[in-house]
Amino acid sequence: MPADCRVKVRFHQPPLALRPYFTTFYLTEIDIPDGQRVQDHLHPEWANLRLFQGVTPEAEIAGIKGPPGIAAIGTGPTSTTIRFTAGRCRIWGIGLLPLGWAKFARAPAHLWADRIFDPCAEPDFAQFGPLIDGVFGACVDEAAELERITAFFAARADMPAPDEDRIVAIHGAIVDPETGSVADVAEATGLASYTIERICRRYFGFAPRLLLRRQRFMRSLSQYMLDPELKWIGAIDGHYHDQAQFVRDFRRFMGMTPRAYVAHPRPVLSAVMRARFEAAGAAVQALHLPARTGD
């Protein structure tokens, strides 16, 4: 990592009417000498839309590179790390919760899971074109950019969100640390297992068993990241049988061992996690709690 790389991150809570649909709106500013790039990894997360000003980042997931040189990158829900490099740039991130996917996306989430794409080139995401084209003005103005993002989604807040009650109920059960199985989700929601399976694939991107496994892993990883003095054994979630099971999950979700992860510089991700926890109370996007419309 270049020694003179500086990363600033600021998180903004959406207005109350939009909070059921988004984790946060957040601005990342990467200041690095011209011609240099910083490397990092993203954790598994819900869907995102990222809008760029400056040097365009490059990203890949599961060895598949995303389209280069574009004004925005969309990602569906992910179950593995996204590796990326970035030069000097400003990035607005918009984190879509499952209910946000239901309201603002036009396709089943499982069709876009673990994928990086150009939203301007995909008919399922053409509705975001005006936001991508108009978010940045002639001058850098964070407040004005945030207002444009907020206004764009507020103007579409009356769009229907199908299966809202079921999505919120399932989401709440999945992020509950006490939930350890699909049977627990069924008991908490009162829904049949086949209904849970259908809703999860359609709006969450994955089968419920994998979602629970991802949550277990992300609880452990975020605990370690927030308190680096902990050893891994002290951060491992109680639903793990042993450390070997955690290491297998680490390889599955991050594509590396815990030791390799600790040794890898995380200049962007560390700044994002600290700022997210301070602003939203959750160090990683996958741990955000769902909100119901009208709350």
Tens-digit pLDDT string for the chain (295 aa)? 566 888 899 999 999 999 999 999 999 999 999 999 999 999 999 999 999 999 999 999 999 999 999 999 999 999 999 999 999 999 999 999 999 999 999 899 999 999 999 999 999 999 999 999 999 999 999 999 999 999 999 999 999 999 999 999 999 999 999 999 999 999 999 999 999 999 999 999 999 999 999 999 998 888 877 776 667 766 787 788 788 898 999 999 999 998 898 887 777 777 777 777 776 666 677 778 887 665 5
- What is the DSSP code string of 120-155? GG-GGGGGGHHHHHHSS-SS--HHHHHHHHHHHHHT
pTM of the model: 0.92
The residues with which 125 forms a beta bridge, in sequence order, are none
DSSP conformational letter for 215:
H
Cβ within 8 Å of residue 260, ≥6 positions away: none
**Helices and strands in the chain, H and E counts:** 11, 10
Within 10 angstroms of residue 171's Cβ, the number of other Cβ atoms is: 26
